[in-house]
Amino acid sequence: MKDEQLAREVRDAVAKLNEVLARAARHNLAVTLRTTAHQTTGGVEQVVVETKIFRQL
């Protein structure tokens, strides 16, 4: 996979995430994202996103 293709996929994924978060907000859902970094056995840092979703009253 070329760098340009991978960069495009990341940008597209972030754009879709932003779109879905906006839709969730319009439906009174609060979304909290938290990132953590883990080191793989190969020594490469891997970022993990954890999600919590709440219903706003």
pLDDT score recorded for residue 2: 93
pLDDT score recorded for residue 30: 94
pLDDT score recorded for residue 40: 85
Q: Could you tell me the CA-to-CA distances from 11 to 36, 37, 50, 53 in Å, in that order?
A: 20, 20, 19, 23
pLDDT score recorded for residue 56: 81
| Interatomic CA distance for residues 17 and 35, integer angstroms | 14
pLDDT mean for each 10 residues of the chain (57 residues):
93 97 95 92 90 89
Q: What is the domain range of residue 17?
A: 3-55
pLDDT score recorded for residue 1: 76
Q: How many domains does the chain have?
A: 1
Q: Could you tell me the CA-to-CA distances from 6 to 1, 18, 20, 34 in Å, in that order?
A: 7, 18, 21, 23
